[in-house]
Structure 1
Amino acid sequence: MTEVKGIKIATIGGGSSYTPELIEGFIKRYSELPVSEIWLVDVEQGREKLEIVGNLAKRMVKKAGVPIEIHLTLNRREALKNADFVTTQFRVGLLDARAKDERIPLKYGVLGQETNGPGGLFKALRTIPIVLEICREMEELCPDAWLINFTNPAGMVTEAVLRYSNIKKVVGLCNVPIGMEMGAADLLNVEPERVRINFAGLNHMVYGLDVFVDGISVKDKLIDLLSDPENTVTMKNIHAMGWEPGFLKALNLFPCPYHNYYYKTKDMVDEELKAAEGGGTRAEVVKKLEGDLFELYRDPNLDIKPPQLEQRGGAYYSDAACRLIHSIYTDKRDIQPVNTRNNGAIAGIPHDSAVEISCVITKDGPKPIAVGELPIPIRGLIQTIKSFERVTIDAAVTGDYNTALLALTINPLVGSDRIARQILDEMLEAHKEYLPQFFKSE
């Protein structure tokens, strides 16, 4: 009998609070996904968290009785060498950078949010150069590996890899579609595995085109349920607000929680301002949550993923990554929503752009289920955000000030080239340490 080669996983950002969920996902799939090594990688700033979460990972593996070796390292090249799958879950500048992304735009009456508007621009500017650096190392050290990215902004990061690197085996992942399926199942009072949604759009700008229970469309029923302001499907990091029934029925689609920022912009800015003055921005809240989580993780008797992790806001992220890796490895051909190369699946979006869409997952990667033309009510907004994404990616790679200004100005959450310039100038200075491409001449 031929011995099955064990799978090597390299996780960049291994000191993340999400890592226990990743470990749990690999443990429960071990019989079909024979992972032999998991390398958790972080930077010097994250050394303490890496050790805490890494020791918890070792206890989890020991309790489960599976032969998975957990390695902790600050040496990314060592982790990448001969890896089969590389997962990315890091945050350049840590939560302090996110807090600036949230607070600075609010001074100008503009939404401060992790992946939307100015915050999304600056997270991309900080993150994309590092991801492309990782890609160059992968080309050398593990050219056949799959890159599974759930570093935000996941769609822009995935597209940057597609357009600016030689890595073709890349898939972007987000927990929003899974959260929508879970939320729909809850409202419809059915088990989540019975629900399937046809997704199409962009990362954090995805819509449910249709919703099925046991293969039968229930979209009209779900929209009726969501027309009651008491019924919401949201994420831990987005304040739940009900939809106007007439708007939702005319839209005739299942919006994602992030659509609140575009269809309720004034309400959301007011909400963010109120939070910033009170309990703090989301980054400041998460910083406390993470502190509490890592105190839990330190406990030498803890050997499971603690339920408190679901309060973090990224619930199901890591489980989605394990599910995707499992489906690629086993050529499962199930349907999952991921960020992948468009290749004509959505009409009017460049072929080399990343879209978030339901795909058949094969050993050769995701095969998008083509939808053609998007419904007219959402087509314009998606085209605008795609323009913003493409220009942002170009700015991240070139470090060109004017390109960044253009990206911010065309984002519908900003609304003024003058305000865009003011925000851009202040945020460039605030994040200078992490944006060397914009300060080359100094």
Structure 2
Amino acid sequence: MKKFVVTIAGGGSTYTPGIIQMLLENQDRFPLKEIKLYDNLASRQEPIAKAMQIYVRDNYPDVTISYSTDPKMAFTGVDFVMAQIRVGLYDLREKDEKIPLKYNVVGQETCGPGGIAYGLRSIGGVLEILDYMEKYSPDAWMLNYSNPAAIVAEATRRLRPDSKIINICDMPVAIETIFAAILDLPSRKDMIVRYYGLNHFGWWTSVTDKSGNDLMPKLREFVEQKGYAAETDDYQHRAQSWKDTYKKAKDVQALDPETLPNTYLKYYLFQDDIVMHEDKNFTRTNEVQATREKEVFAKAHKIIEADSAKGISFATGSPHASFIVDLACAIAFNTQERMLLIVPNNGSILNFDQTAMVEVPCLVGKNGPEPLAMGNIPTFQKGLMEQQVAAEKLAVDAWIEGSYSKLWQAITMSKTVPSAGVAKQILDELIEANKQFWPELK
């Protein structure tokens, strides 16, 4: 069986060790020859990379692991690129959150003005990697989970239409894992789901078992009482902000009791409540810096100092890690697995913008995803999605054209923002913060 070469772009991410461990543990279905790490910030990547070299040496000596800031080395002879870049790092994420919050607007890394700001930083970084791939490994697939996926997907659809990129998100996978726990099923793969929406902006309309039995009534009953706060190990180890998010699904679901919502909808439907309960001086960025960021780098330095990874393991429970292996296998071995992916609409949702990047179930094989038909969608969801997709398209217009007015329109269009005046105040501060990463706006 062929052994694959995988590059992880964003090698300095705190998620990298878990993804590497997940890849290594799944070699029975996805054999590895080499894992390459690539990052344009050597100082951040090096401790992660050195620790993982020791880990692989001690546990999987048949696999090679290398790291580089040189695109030619990182992207030559590669089968898959798993992209998880964060342009601007946590310094800019913190501004994405705190600048909108100054104006009592949702401050979140993928939603509202913060998500738009992050999107404008991410577009150039993802395009750059796609161009490296085209130059050095034109047959490779990019499995992209760099945020915000909706804006990145719209930009790559327009600017690199022939690229072999699949945009993915782990949140639906995480929620379906909760569904499985509520239903006492061994795995989310024991369910067949119907879902439609945009990234971080969608609804489940059907959940059945493989025999076709309707599981929605039991799920709705649970969610109406507890949201997605199922008493799983994953839930118990979540930060309080995530526990609050899972509980809030109860309120979001009440708006349309026939469906089950993506958790991120809370930012668009309960903006005032979210802002009211937010600590404007200690946001999610600060929480991550105080926990996962410190823990992962401390573990990496411990491995390097001991020159041993004996007895050390990294968390692989992150849904996107296992989802990535599933997706790579589907492409490599033409498994036709059913997965939720972000793809051009092209008829999947009949009464919606056909050029929109929507998130729907797809069958995945060697030629990539084939979206399934979701039919017509109701007025409530259609209206919300049209407003959101307009904001995303305007943001990409702004990046392409260097247009201040288009970006002002994009932020104004976001349902998280109360007025054009507030949108302009936030935009002007975001421009100042993002001078190094955004195109010049006129």
Is the TM value for this pair above 0.5?
A: yes
Pair 1:261 & 2:261 matched: no
Question: 2 CA distance for matches of 1:359 and 1:107?
Answer: 40
Pair 1:276 & 2:280 matched: yes
Are the structure 2 counterparts of residues 167 and 318 from structure 1 closer, same or farther at C-alpha, using a change threshold of 3 Å?
Answer: farther
1:228-247 aligned at under 5 Å gives the runs: 228-229=225-226, 232=229, 238=242, 239-240=244-245, 241-242=247-248
2:280 counterpart SS class: helix
Which of these residues, 320, 324, 337, is aligned with residue 334 of structure 1? Answer: 337
TM-score (norm 2): 0.90
Q: Which amino acid aligns with 2:337?
A: D
1:42-441 aligned at under 5 Å gives the runs: 42-44=39-41, 47-65=42-60, 67-192=62-187, 193-215=189-211, 216-229=213-226, 232=229, 238=242, 239-240=244-245, 241-242=247-248, 248=254, 250-272=256-278, 275-277=279-281, 280-289=282-291, 290-300=293-303, 301-302=308-309, 304-307=312-315, 315-435=318-438, 437-438=439-440
Question: 1 CA distance for matches of 2:339 and 2:314?
Answer: 26
Per-residue deviation, 1:188? 2.1
1:432 counterpart SS class: coil
1:168 counterpart SS class: coil
2:360 counterpart SS class: strand
1:4-19 aligned at under 5 Å gives the runs: 4-19=1-16
Q: For 1:278-323, what per-residue CA distance to the aligned partner results, in whole angstroms no more than 9, with x for missing partners?
A: xx1001111122112210222224355434x76xxxx222221122
Are the structure 2 counterparts of residues 123 and 262 from structure 1 closer, same or farther at C-alpha, using a change threshold of 3 Å?
Answer: same
Moved more, 89-98 or 373-382: 373-382
Question: 2 CA distance for matches of 1:269 and 1:31?
Answer: 46
Q: Which amino acid aligns with 2:283?
A: T
Q: Which amino acid aligns with 1:271?
A: H
1:15 counterpart SS class: coil
Question: 2 CA distance for matches of 1:66 and 1:195?
Answer: 37
Are the structure 2 counterparts of residues 99 and 55 from structure 1 closer, same or farther at C-alpha, using a change threshold of 3 Å?
Answer: same
Per-residue deviation, 1:62? 3.1
Which of these residues, 37, 42, 47, is aligned with residue 34 of structure 2? Answer: 37
Question: 2 CA distance for matches of 1:438 and 1:26?
Answer: 40
Per-residue deviation, 1:78? 2.0
Per-residue deviation, 1:404? 0.5
Give the conservation status (yes or no) of the 8 Å contact 1:103–1:276.
yes
Are the structure 2 counterparts of residues 343 and 305 from structure 1 closer, same or farther at C-alpha, using a change threshold of 3 Å?
Answer: farther
Are the structure 2 counterparts of residues 363 and 66 from structure 1 closer, same or farther at C-alpha, using a change threshold of 3 Å?
Answer: farther
2:193 counterpart SS class: strand
1:438 counterpart SS class: coil
Question: 1 CA distance for matches of 2:295 and 2:252?
Answer: 42
Are the structure 2 counterparts of residues 364 and 230 from structure 1 closer, same or farther at C-alpha, using a change threshold of 3 Å?
Answer: closer
2:107 counterpart SS class: coil
Moved more, 361-370 or 208-217: 208-217
Per-residue deviation, 1:159? 2.2
Per-residue deviation, 1:346? 1.5
Are the structure 2 counterparts of residues 132 and 181 from structure 1 closer, same or farther at C-alpha, using a change threshold of 3 Å?
Answer: same
Q: For 1:253-281, what per-residue CA distance to the aligned partner results, in whole angstroms no more than 9, with x for missing partners?
A: 11011011122211111122xx234xx10
Question: 1 CA distance for matches of 2:4 and 2:333?
Answer: 12
Unpaired runs of 5+ in structure 1?
none
TM-score (norm 1): 0.90
1:37 counterpart SS class: strand
Are the structure 2 counterparts of residues 245 and 117 from structure 1 closer, same or farther at C-alpha, using a change threshold of 3 Å?
Answer: closer
Q: For 1:96-154, what per-residue CA distance to the aligned partner results, in whole angstroms no more than 9, with x for missing partners?
A: 10000000101111011000000011001111022122222222222221111000011
Alignment size in residue pairs: 425
Question: 2 CA distance for matches of 1:246 and 1:111?
Answer: 16
Q: Which amino acid aligns with 2:418?
A: G
Over the aligned positions, Cα root-mean-square deviation in angstroms equals 2.2
Give the conservation status (yes or no) of the 8 Å contact 1:345–1:370.
yes
Question: 1 CA distance for matches of 2:75 and 2:33?
Answer: 15
Question: 2 CA distance for matches of 1:306 and 1:426?
Answer: 38
Unpaired runs of 5+ in structure 2?
none
Per-residue deviation, 1:246? 10
Q: Which amino acid aligns with 2:330?
A: S
Are the structure 2 counterparts of residues 244 and 136 from structure 1 closer, same or farther at C-alpha, using a change threshold of 3 Å?
Answer: closer
Per-residue deviation, 1:334? 1.2
Question: 2 CA distance for matches of 1:38 and 1:261?
Answer: 37
Give the conservation status (yes or no) of the 8 Å contact 2:228–2:250.
no
